[in-house]
Chains A and B, each alone.
Chain A
Amino acid sequence: MRKHRRLLPTRRAVLAGAAGALGAVPLLLVRPAAATPEKMQAAIKSAIGEAPVKKGKVTLDIPPLVENGNTVAMSVSVESPMTPSDHVKVVHVFNEKNPQPNVIDAYFGPRAARAAFSTRIRLADTQTLIAIAEMSDGSFWSDSIDVIVTLAACLEYN
């Protein structure tokens, strides 16, 4: 009898174990890292400072409905003659809900013909993206777009 008891867990031990496991669940479910709108604002501030940002000139092009967040085609173009005296220096793209708020910082050199580029990005959730362009005269222009994501990125092993 004694031997039997040792091999099989007692009712008390099973209940205690179950309670312990339930109690541990909230600790195991670590909230996935996500950039919040506040984090995005902080990232924008660290990239461009307190400068005022006007809407316009920038076109952020991304499919409004994304089936797979692992690769999303994104293109950004800015209205600019791209001359030495009037050109786009850099375009920053930010997101709200990926683990980090930055997406890309694209710098245009003296040989760039157009202030435009395309790339492929990851999107972790339905969210808003913002592109901010810094001009050679020091002004900032932006465009934002809402994207619906049905299959999020970065979830293969989560």
Chain B
Amino acid sequence: MARTLINVPPKAKRGQVIEIKTLISHVMETGYRRNEVGAMVPRDIINTFLCTYNGEEVFRAGLHPAIAANPFFSFFAVATASGKFEFHWTDDEGNVETASAEITVE
């Protein structure tokens, strides 16, 4: 569906605060614009974003049309154990885009 870009440090010390950055390509059509012939362009946005770390929630967001195209998020987690970060984006039609990143904690 869409291209995603994830930035999670591959290695971290136990207890270290790490920054996670995510980007997904999406038009985030607001539903308030008109096309070339004057018809309203229907709304099509990603309405939910979720990040989990070994199954536990880190950050979740409800998005509105005021979020810019190609939604970007950055947020923070504590590196507690080696494992997997998983990312889920859900759009208005219920399509879910997922991505994941591994981290090694020493």
Contacts and interface: CB of A to CB of B under 8 A. Distances in A.
Same complex for A and B? Answer yes
Interface of A: 32-33, 70-72, 75, 95, 98-100, 102-114, 116-123, 153-154, 156-158
A99 B43 CA distance: 13
Interface in B1-54: 17-18, 30, 32-36, 41, 52-53
Contact of A120 (B34, B61, B62, B67): B67
A117 B68 contact: no
Contact of A117 (B52, B62, B73, B78): B73
A95 to B, nearest CB: 6
Interface size class of B (residues with CB under 8 A): 35 or more
A100 B65 contact: yes
Contacts of B52: 109, 111
B32 A99 contact: yes
B77 A122 contact: no
B56 interface: yes
Contact of A118 (B30, B58, B66, B74): B74
B36 A111 contact: no
